[in-house]
């Protein structure tokens, strides 16, 4: 997140009022609303994602049967502190399917869902992570491509469960202490998220079920390639040490068998935009000077004095420094982006 930026969202009442103005300005007098417009293509599902990470995954699975809007699609924007607009509320109100990260990362989505009163299904990615405290749905050894769980290959909540979740207005998605919400860096979790996206699209558009399944299978094959590459790193470099300025890439480095030696107080303070305690900074710099760290990974979207100090210390010690982003770079796909991140990580370890 951008340091010094306050984490705030527009109030629901303010959004509602502003959205009314947007609706009035967008629809000519006497014309039907957006969902009932004669110009609307009923064959295309409207998918709204909090970030282009999930937007790209949905597009890969849905193909030309979906129209995807990613509310945040630029690395200049920070989901933690993003201020939702009236146009965002309009977009969410028209959605057939909503995809969020959850875990407090993109809480503006929950506010928009509450403000619109939409009954569109909401997929929350953190709930498919093995580390999610409330997760009871996926065994760590389950492979979503094998169809374990139910006869149709999907282990999903019941309709009653979904209704109860809607009644709760998506409470409980605030930041969870000790939980790393950056689950899109965990290919295994993303495989489950992709499976759920395919399932929900097929529920909304049964005629496209075969196409969604095909899109999912192609995407899942790409995930398998990522996991194989991470397995190769694990086989060659298990136990080697990495230092991260923020916890963003830790799922990826853990899957590669690497040990994170960053003081928790350092990475947590940087992520929260707070000053790193002097003793913690000294500890971090001593670790970087010790000669045991193989790679430093920084968040390309953030910066600060402590981050700069860590990067400078790494360079002085001859440690390679990588920069990872939180969003899919322009012109890239999720799979291509992760493939490059893994290749870059492997490259630093073989130096």
φ, ψ (nearest 5 deg) of residue 112:
-70, -40
Mean pLDDT across 1-11: 35
How far is Cα 62 from Cα 57, in angstroms, rounded to an integer?
9
Question: Which whole number is the average pLDDT over 169-194?
Answer: 79
In this chain, the answer to whether the domains covering 12-226 and 238-349 adopt an identical fold is: yes
Mean pLDDT score across all residues of the chain:
82
Span 287-305, mean pLDDT?
92
Burial label, 150 (beta-carbon count in 10 A; 0-12, 13-18, 19+): exposed
Residue predicted with more confidence, 136 or 338: 338
Q: How far apart are CA 87 and CA 84, in angstroms?
A: 8
Q: Between 31 and 301, where is the model more confident?
A: 301
> What's the pLDDT tens digit per position in 228-237?
999 999 999 9
pLDDT for position 302: 77
pLDDT in tens, 61-83: 999 999 999 999 988 787 877 89
**pLDDT attached to residue 75:** 83
Distance (Å) of CA 165 to CA 103, 160, 162: 15, 9, 5
Pairwise CA distance, residues 195 & 325, whole Å = 24
Q: Is the pLDDT of residue 134 over 90?
A: no
User: Which pLDDT belongs to residue 42?
Assistant: 56
From CA 229, how far away is CA 204, in angstroms rounded?
Answer: 35
Query: Thinking of the domain 12-226, which architecture would CATH place it in?
Result: 3-Layer(aba) Sandwich (3.40)
pTM of the model: 0.80
Report for 42-46, 78-82, 324-328: range of highest mean pLDDT: 324-328
DSSP H helices in the chain: 12-26, 52-62, 86-93, 108-116, 159-167, 187-204, 209-237, 250-255, 264-271, 278-289, 305-316, 334-349
- For the cut 70, the answer to whether the pLDDT of residue 266 exceeds it is yes
Three-state secondary structure call for residue 122: strand
CA distance 333 to 23: 32
Q: Which residues contact 219 (CB under 8 A, 6 or more apart)?
A: 57, 60, 61, 194, 335
pLDDT for position 133: 85
> Residue 111: pLDDT band by 50, 70, 90 thresholds?
very high
Indicate the pLDDT class of residue 33, thresholds 50, 70 and 90.
Answer: very low
Query: 250 or 301, which is more confident?
Result: 250
Domain boundaries, the chain: 12-226, 238-349
Q: At 136, is the pLDDT very low, low, confident or very high (cuts 50, 70, 90)? A: low
**Which overall architecture, per CATH, does domain 238-349 show?**
3-Layer(aba) Sandwich (3.40)
Q: Which helix (H) or strand (E) holds 217?
A: helix 209-237
Higher pLDDT, 319 or 25: 319
């Amino acid at each position: 997140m951008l340091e010094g930026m306050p984490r705030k969202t527009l109030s629901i009442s303010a959004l509602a009022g502003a959205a009314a103005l947007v609706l009035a300005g967008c629809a000519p007098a006497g014309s039907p609303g957006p969902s009932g417009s004669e110009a609307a293509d009923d064959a295309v599902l409207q998918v709204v994602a909090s970030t282009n990470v999930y937007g790209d995954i949905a597009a890969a699975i849905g193909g030309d049967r979906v129209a995807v809007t990613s509310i945040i699609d630029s690395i200049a924007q920070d989901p933690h502190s993003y201020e939702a607009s009236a146009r965002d509320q309009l977009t969410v109100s028209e959605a057939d399917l909503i995809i969020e990260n959850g875990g407090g990362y993109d809480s503006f989505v929950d506010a928009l869902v509450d403000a619109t009163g939409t009954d569109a299904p909401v997929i929350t990615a953190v709930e498919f992570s093995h580390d999610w405290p409330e997760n009871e749905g996926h065994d760590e050894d389950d492979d979503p491509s094998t169809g374990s769980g139910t006869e149709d290959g999907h282990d999903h909540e019941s309709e009653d469960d979904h209704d109860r979740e809607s009644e709760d207005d998506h409470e409980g998605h605030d930041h969870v202490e000790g939980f790393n919400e950056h689950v899109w860096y965990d290919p295994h979790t993303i495989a489950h998220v992709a499976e759920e996206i395919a399932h929900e699209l097929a529920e909304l558009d049964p005629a496209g079920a075969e196409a969604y399944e095909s899109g999912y299978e192609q995407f899942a094959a790409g995930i398998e390639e990522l996991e194989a590459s991470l397995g190769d790193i694990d086989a060659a470099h298990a136990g080697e040490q990495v230092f991260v300025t923020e916890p963003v890439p830790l799922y990826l480095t853990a899957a590669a068998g690497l040990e994170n030696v960053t003081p928790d107080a350092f990475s947590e303070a940087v992520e929260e935009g707070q000053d790193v305690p002097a003793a913690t900074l000294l500890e971090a710099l001593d670790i970087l000077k010790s000669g045991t760290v193989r790679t430093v990974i920084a968040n390309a979207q953030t910066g600060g004095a402590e981050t700069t100090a860590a990067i400078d210390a790494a360079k002085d010690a001859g440690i390679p420094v990588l920069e990872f982003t939180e969003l899919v770079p322009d012109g890239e796909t999720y799979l291509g982006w992760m493939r490059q991140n893994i290749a870059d990580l492997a490259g630093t370890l073989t130096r």
